[in-house]
A and B are shown apart, each in its own frame.
Chain A
Amino acid sequence: MSNDKNGESRRDFLKKGAAGAAALIAGFGMKGSRANAENLDASKKAILMDQSLCVECQSCRLACQRENDFPITAQSIKFKSIETGSYPEVEYNSTRWSCFHCNDAPCIDSCPVDALERQYGEMNVTDIEDCIGCGACLNDCPYDVPEIIEGKMYKCNGCVHLLEDGEEPACVTTCPTYAVEFGNQEEMAELGVERVEELEADGKEAYLYGLEAQDGLGLFLILRTAPEDFELV
């Protein structure tokens, strides 16, 4: 399932092995903070989103809605953006915003009917039948991700029904710019680090978000501006 990028397969990046990966990630300075390789869970899957390739076409959002039979008003994947500078020196940056599949997930603890639980690949998944749309998860989510629509909560559930069949999430397989990757959390973290270093070597500002927040996330973001600019904590 590797995507061809300049003739290199994703697997080529991952020859270093687990120890090498940990060292790479541990040594990766996140603008002053030290990344925590211990947050990487061998059984956890993760989505890696590369904003340096994203044109915000919204194909991911639409594919997600269709795959999961979500209402069209459920923004299970959305985008936040910031404009800085002034004409003609303008910088525009965006980020995907969807369930971050926190290792330490407040939503799971807060749900009064246990409608949220960890499933395949340690993705945080909603049982829509059990959900009563109370909004407790939204209250506790550090990212304000849950969308309550007509008494039910909608969010990215990691397409676990596809993962169980050995397939990738719908957003990954539709993205026309190949900006979304999927795999083991450790593998995705390593790819993320590689890409940030590649961008920096090209003189571009780049950040990897998701190694530390909430004890590690199931959605990593390669950003072209500091995470704090999007209020990502």
Chain B
Amino acid sequence: MGLTRRKFLKTAGLTAGAVGIGLSGFDFKAWAEVQEDSEVVKRASLCNVCASHCGMWIHVKNDRIWKVTGHEENGRSQGRLCPRAHGGIDWVYDPYRLKQPIKIEDDGSVRPIGWNQALDEIAEKLTQILEEEGPEKVFYAHNPRRTGVFYGNRFMHALNVSTIMTHNAACNTARGRGFGASMGGVPSADIGNSKYVVMIGRNYGAGIRTSQLKAVNKAVKGDTTLVCVDPRQNETSIIADKWVPIKPGTDLAMVLAMCKVIIDDDSYNHEFIEEHTIGFDQFADSLDEYTPEWAEELTDVPADTIREMARGLADVAPAAIVHPTWKGAFGCNYENSTETARAVAYINALLGNINQDGGLKFYNGPSTGSLDPDRYPAPAAPDTKRADGAGVEDEYPLATGHGLPHVLAERIKEGKVKAGFVRHHNPVRNFPDYDHMEEGFGALDLLVVFETQRSETAMVADYVLPEPSFAEREEIIESRGGSRGYLAMRTQAIPKMYGKTKSFDEIIRELAVRMGVGEYFKFTMDEANAAILEPFDISLIEFKEKGSMMVDVPQPEPWPELGTPSGKFEFYSETFEKHGAPPIAGWLPPATGLEFGANEFRLVHGKEAYHSHTATANTPQLLQITKDYNTNRLWINASVAEEMGIEDGDEVRVSSDIFSDTTRVKVTERIHPETVYYPGSYGNRTFHYRVAHEIDSLNPNDFVKYQVESIVGHAMVNEVIVTVEKV
């Protein structure tokens, strides 16, 4: 069929005016032929729609992106791409993208500002704050991507700023600390080789990392038993062997009971327990009450099902997994999430599956090079106290180094934090309690947001500094582990669309010079990348063509020494004990309890395959799927709906203690009766997201109060009871 004239015009994106030729002398036919014969060029890049950074080829014709395809030699994509990668092209061509820096004055007026003036002002203000208030009142928050870590952390360290935060407190911090304290870190799940896999909330079918779905294919087509535990019959459970509905917030009870079954059956891995763990006896002694019948009362999971799963796992161990998850059911959801994470670590220990095939694996990563420290010395690690209390003795000692943005918001309001940078991250929208987050971040004396769109966080900034889109910039090489490791980089696929955008590395270098720490940024990105590649038999020029390559890495040693104080798996954590947390994980309920009155439900949320949190509702190609399938609806159990006189598509009012709004319902059998569910993809508050506002929607975060969990300080994103009433 070839490229028709009509089609090429769309792809070329050119007009006669842009070409710069007067129409009278313009030979359209000749020009069309030239365009049609133009080559399609493939340039190596990384998708930017989520943190997976799947390797991809950007196919470019006449400097315009046509399509994207998966990079074959990349550990994350393995030649395939999830839906969001395709939709992400819309970000590049968003007509409302930021094309130049802007300054938001105190009176709320917005004006464009030149780079030199913006950076001069920011440097001056930040220097003043560092001198008058100190580095303990400054922070850097980002959804960490390699370039942001490389340049942002270096800059902050140079300024002696220790408060570097990520999104984790609204993602997987409970999981991180729970596994960290017991297992020394968070391993990957070798589900493709496993014989029995229980996923508690982790939804591979919607929270997609492309390579993981390849493993799901292998599990589904092979003889793996795949069980999904979730209050909702999620996208993974529809192809799994079994859906186990559960009352949200009670996963901990189910897992403790499963541990008891395995211990009572004496089917745990004796060798692993005896030689590689501490505190097993105390844990075993604590389980008397946690029978499957006890758990059934709390969880609504039948006692026999609890036994079936426990025994199914133990029968095939060590090729058996209870998945560590990302956020899932216990990343940051409830007061009991840290303990749920520990209990999940415990059951995996009973199965003896650490670094076993089909179990949990601590993979090794490639050994990359780095900048010569003599030629390019790095700044010393900061010796200042964190502003958010994370890791601080009498504040949040067990919080991880990923920090607590929601706590920071409170401290900003108290005048304890003055300035910060936010890059590639939208904490104002993506943490609970919008008013709390907006007021907090808005109260800073200086907030600089590095963004390509005017997100909710950008709305309360003082300066918004736009990078070019991911397709227009080159970045620091990433390296990741696995059964095989890989190196990958983003290369520039199309010319910079707007001259007044600057990449993050450029901005940081220029700010560093202004602030007297330019000595730490004397290298070019090419020099940094060449240093990273040094141990490998490929030049940087060759690697830019290739984009991604798999490399061999040492295979995990079975039952290795772990990153815990004892070097062993710790059922009993002295660290937890020292900081006032229970040394052994035991049952506790969610903070908002487990009793629901009439028309009361727990509100839970989750991912959709074609959206990334609230970053893509403004993307036309992806929002079109929402519109076609009406997915911006509140899921409610069919029997409950019938009792309430609610039919599919009806409008209801959803209310919590702090927020109320209306939405339409999806009446379905696929959800636990005391639960309502809404996808987390919508509810953008920034009026700049014009496309996102083409539909009515909610954001579950609006309903949830600002809360801080007792052990690690996470944001407790599911601790909310709502009433639902027919409108």
Interface residues of A (CB under 8 A from B): 5-6, 52-59, 61-63, 65-67, 69, 72-73, 75, 78, 83, 85-88, 90, 92, 94, 119, 125, 127-129, 157, 160-161, 170, 173-179, 198
Contact = CB atoms under 8 A, between A and B. Distances in A.
Nearest to A195: B221
B628 A78 contact: yes
Contacts of B6: 128-129
B146 to A, nearest CB: 23
Contacts of A69: 7, 10-11
Contacts of B2: 161
Contacts of B220: 52-53
Given A53-B217, A178-B217, A62 B610 contact: yes
Contact of B233 (A90, A161, A178): A90
A173 B79 contact: yes
Given A6-B222, A127-B1, A62 B87 contact: yes
Contacts of A175: 80
Given A75-B628, A87-B671, A177 B213 contact: yes
B89 A66 contact: yes
Interface in B30-50: none
Contact of A176 (B11, B214, B221): B214
Which of the listed residues A53, A72, A170 has the most CB atoms from chain B within 10 Å of its own CB? Answer: A72
A119 B2 CA distance: 13
Given A5-B221, A6-B218, A73 B637 contact: no
A175 B220 CA distance: 15
Given A54-B239, A176-B208, 11 more contacts: A55-B236, A55-B239, A57-B208, A62-B610, A63-B69, A73-B624, A75-B628, A87-B245, A125-B1, A174-B69, A178-B80
Contact of B82 (A72, A94, A176): A176
B217 A177 contact: yes
B1 A56 contact: no
Contacts of B638: 86-87
Contacts, number: 139
B54 to A, nearest CB: 9
Contacts of A78: 628
B637 A57 contact: no
Contact of B239 (A52, A59, A63, A83): A52
Which of the listed residues B81, B638, B639 has the most CB atoms from chain A within 10 Å of its own CB? Answer: B81
Contacts of A58: 83, 609-610, 625
Interface of B: 1-2, 4, 6-7, 10-11, 66-70, 79-83, 85-87, 89, 204-206, 208, 210, 213-214, 216-218, 220-222, 233, 235-236, 238-239, 243, 245, 609-610, 620-622, 624-625, 628, 637-639, 668-673
B29 to A, nearest CB: 16
Contact of B80 (A73, A161, A173): A173
Contact of B243 (A53, A61, A83, A90): A90
> Can you list the 6 inter-chain pairs with the closest CB atoms, starting with the nearest?
A55-B205, A57-B609, A62-B86, A66-B67, A59-B83, A176-B213
Contacts of B245: 87-88
B628 A161 contact: no
Contacts of A178: 80, 214, 217
B692 to A, nearest CB: 15
B248 to A, nearest CB: 14
A61 B609 CA distance: 12
Contacts of A54: 239
A8 to B, nearest CB: 10
Contact of B221 (A6, A72, A157): A6
Contact of B206 (A6, A55, A177): A55
A176 B239 CA distance: 14
A160 B2 CA distance: 10
Main secondary structure of the interface of B (DSSP, over half): mixed
A71 to B, nearest CB: 9
Contacts of A87: 245, 637-639, 669-673
Given A67-B67, A174-B81, A53 B221 contact: yes
Contacts of A85: 669
Given A5-B218, A128-B4, A59 B81 contact: yes
A177 B238 contact: no
B207 to A, nearest CB: 11
Contacts of B221: 5-6, 53, 198
Contacts of B236: 55
A128 B625 CA distance: 24
Given A62-B610, A86-B669, A92-B670, A57 B1 contact: no
Nearest to B609: A57
Contacts of A5: 217-218, 221
Contacts of A59: 80-83, 85-86, 609
A65 B669 CA distance: 33
A57 B81 CA distance: 11
B609 A86 contact: no
A5 B217 CA distance: 8
Contact of A83 (B67, B89, B217, B668): B668
Contacts of A129: 4, 6
Nearest to A78: B628
B625 A66 contact: no
Contacts of A53: 217, 220-221, 239
Contacts of B85: 59
A135 to B, nearest CB: 20
21 contacts: A5-B217, A53-B221, A55-B213, A55-B239, A55-B609, A58-B83, A58-B625, A59-B81, A62-B625, A63-B69, A63-B86, A65-B621, A86-B669, A87-B671, A90-B243, A90-B669, A92-B238, A161-B1, A178-B80, A178-B214, A179-B217
A127 B2 CA distance: 11
A125 B80 CA distance: 25
Contacts of B213: 55, 176-177
A57 B610 contact: yes
A156 to B, nearest CB: 13
A61 B625 contact: yes
Nearest to A93: B238
Which of the listed residues A54, A61, A78, A128 has the most CB atoms from chain B within 10 Å of its own CB? Answer: A61
B277 to A, nearest CB: 33
Nearest to A119: B1
Contacts of B222: 6
B621 A63 contact: no
Contacts of A173: 69-70, 79-80
A179 B239 CA distance: 11
A61 B672 CA distance: 31
A90 B217 contact: no
Which of the listed residues A59, A127, A179 has the most CB atoms from chain B within 10 Å of its own CB? Answer: A59
A6 B239 CA distance: 17
Nearest to B209: A176
A75 B628 CA distance: 8
A176 B1 contact: no
A72 B238 contact: no
A106 B222 CA distance: 40
A5 B222 CA distance: 9
A164 to B, nearest CB: 9
Contacts of B206: 55, 57
Given A55-B609, A129-B6, A90 B214 contact: no
A127 to B, nearest CB: 7
A53 B238 CA distance: 9
A87 B670 CA distance: 6
